[in-house]
Chain A
């Protein structure tokens, strides 16, 4: 640490030294880059698997002779790599960087986080081979074997310990709303992961209940808090303008904390689950309208009048798109939980598109935006090509709009046809084929965007004209362990 960067603070209140922004970023550099770059590796793999699965939906014979590349293995692996690889690893990196900036303290336990990150990646690799070999748990969002899941949860617990230590040692008194969201995410996810790994969900009904309790909460209590924390940090930061109403932001946080966790059971409308379980879930889902509208109003009122800034900032382009998608997917989710709507859209492509608004248009776009802000600051380098950033945005934005538009449009007709006894079931399948082709086309657009993002990242980190990042790797590891 450079001596000139340390400024004295009131020692009676807090003995921690004051760190400059550049010092915080320098200390965050290696850990955050490692988490983000490994996340991007899993994004590329997950995208390839998504394209394979998508093509197989309209060309079932494509690579049909290889058992390990059948739809039943490729599709779950796509989901698990983007959820636990790309979104979780990158989300953890983004969350740690935001915490470091907001609490004005370096990321704690950096050496342990690196070890956890390596174990996390090895677990993902082993779990991926197991799924391709046919050893899946067969539970959506939980296809990785329990051993892989437990290993990943233990890694998150190590990062949670770092989060707690940063909050305890913080150099500010008041906690910003983003800190609340991140703290909650790192407390909730270990609970979700450990409970879902318990060997007590032995009957199909209870297992289905656990499945949707976990899957819905993984989105709502793990990814959503991290991404909303990012939105509440980056929107004011880029605009140079505080959030419209801090009180509303806290209302939104506690609304999520109180209403969200019972939502998942609305996936089981019409199942043998007790009716009261499902009815409470529907009520909780509708109650979610309150925190969602609160967040939407707050973000809109902060951005309104500054749309030029959105156009000129790569971060805000992605973050505002993601924030709008959050409002859309959440309100749509509340509607979908109603029994009358659910009986049409259940078992249709509408639901797959809905999930992609959540995990892609909201979560992934938010993480892209966060990376565009964070990486130049921790590497002290500028993005290689501004035109390619624009290409990345438009390819992914148009890609996901085509994906959602095509599948939700045909999903509605598919649902109405499935409820019509005069329509043969095969017709409800064949009518979707042109839209499944559109999905593959949209996947190619999004995949091209991901390749551009990976290329920009590699060019920035491993640029040979300046200090080569690769040569510093061993030196950085040594420094992290001497903390």
Chain B
């Protein structure tokens, strides 16, 4: 096997090995201890779950409905 091909194989194994190392670190670091709580991580007291954001196109549509209504 040429040097280039060998480097490709080693690099591929390194990527897989890196993934495994991350997994082991996560496991022993307690990252999987409360797995269901993980889904709440994007939320906090300032931006709690249950509140939709970024609904800016609703106004334009409601505005159009109002305009249509007033025309009628």
Q: Which residues of A contact B (CB under 8 A)?
A: 20-21, 101-102, 104, 172-178, 180, 183-184, 187-188, 191-192, 195, 198, 200-203, 206-207, 209-210, 213, 217, 221, 233, 236-243, 245-247, 249-250, 254, 257-258, 261-262, 309, 311-316, 372-373, 382-383, 386-387, 389-390
Contacts and interface: CB of A to CB of B under 8 A. Distances in A.
Contacts, number: 151
A314 B22 contact: no
Interface in B8-42: 8, 11-12, 14-16, 18-20, 22-23, 26, 30-32, 34-42
Given A200-B3, A258-B16, A314 B35 contact: no
B28 to A, nearest CB: 14
A102 B34 CA distance: 17
B42 A176 contact: yes
Contact of A313 (B11, B46, B57): B57
B38 A180 contact: no
Interface of B: 2-5, 7-8, 11-12, 14-16, 18-20, 22-23, 26, 30-32, 34-44, 46-61
Nearest to B62: A312
5 contacts: A20-B46, A102-B42, A236-B39, A242-B42, A257-B19
Contacts of B44: 21, 104
Given A175-B31, A209-B4, A209-B8, A240 B53 contact: yes
Nearest to B1: A274
A210 B4 contact: yes
B8 A210 contact: yes
Contact of B38 (A187, A188, A239, A246): A246
B8 A213 contact: yes
Most buried by A among B3, B36, B41, B46: B41
Contacts of B8: 195, 206, 209-210, 213
B1 to A, nearest CB: 9
Contacts of A257: 15-16, 18-19, 22-23
Shortest Cβ-Cβ A-B pairs, 9 listed: A257-B19, A242-B39, A206-B4, A176-B41, A246-B39, A246-B38, A312-B58, A201-B4, A261-B15
B25 to A, nearest CB: 10
A312 B61 contact: yes
B31 to A, nearest CB: 6
Contacts of B51: 240
A266 to B, nearest CB: 14
Main secondary structure of the interface of B (DSSP, over half): helix
Given A102-B41, A175-B31, A210-B8, A313 B55 contact: yes
A206 B19 contact: no
Given A192-B11, A250-B38, A261-B15, 19 more contacts: A102-B42, A174-B34, A176-B38, A184-B18, A187-B18, A191-B14, A202-B4, A207-B4, A209-B5, A236-B39, A237-B42, A242-B43, A245-B39, A257-B15, A257-B18, A314-B54, A386-B60, A389-B57, A390-B60
B30 to A, nearest CB: 8
Contacts of A237: 42-43, 47, 53-54
Contacts of B19: 184, 254, 257-258
B46 A240 contact: no
A242 B38 CA distance: 9
Nearest to A315: B54
B11 A195 contact: yes
Given A203-B2, A240-B51, A184 B31 contact: no
B17 to A, nearest CB: 10
A261 B16 contact: yes
A238 B3 contact: no
A174 B38 contact: yes
Nearest to B50: A240
A262 B12 contact: yes
Given A176-B42, A177-B38, A311 B52 contact: no
A241 B39 CA distance: 9
Contacts of B41: 102, 172, 174, 176
Nearest to B63: A386
Nearest to A187: B18
Contacts of B39: 236, 242-243, 245-246, 249
Contact of B59 (A176, A195, A309, A386): A386
A316 B26 CA distance: 30
B15 A221 contact: yes
Kindly name the residue among B12, B39, B44 whose own CB sees the greatest number of chain A CB atoms within 10 A. Answer: B39
B56 A313 contact: yes
